[in-house]
Amino acid sequence: MKEINIFYLGHQLKKDGINKFNKMTGNYKNTTITFVDVSSYHDELKEIGVKAWKGLYITWYKMLAFAKLDIKTDRILYINPHTVISGALDGLLELDFEGNVMALSYDATMVNAHKDVIGLKPTDGYFNCGIMLINHKKWMKDKIDAKMREHLRHNSYEVADQDLCNVFFKGKIKKVGVEYNFSTVFYGYDIKKYIKANGFLPESFYSYDEIMESYYTPKIIHSQFGVNGRPWQQGNDNPVGFLWRKYLKLTPWKNAKMPVAKKDINWRLYDLLPQSIIVNLYAWAVNRKFAKTK
Crossing angle between the packed helical segments 144-154 and 41-48, to the nearest 10 degrees:
50
Tell me the C-alpha distance between 66 and 151, whole Å.
Answer: 17
Give the CATH number of domain 59-225+264-290: 3.90.550.10
Contact 65, 145 (CB under 8 A): no
**Residues with Cβ < 8 Å from 288, sequence gap 6 or more?**
none
| Structure confidence by residue, pLDDT tens digits, 63-105 | 999 999 988 899 999 999 999 999 999 999 999 999 999 999 9
Write down the domain spans for the chain.
59-225+264-290
pLDDT tens digit sequence for 113-124: 899 999 999 999
Whole-prediction pTM: 0.94
Q: What is the pLDDT of residues 225-265, one digit of tens each?
A: 999 999 999 999 999 999 999 999 999 999 999 999 999 99
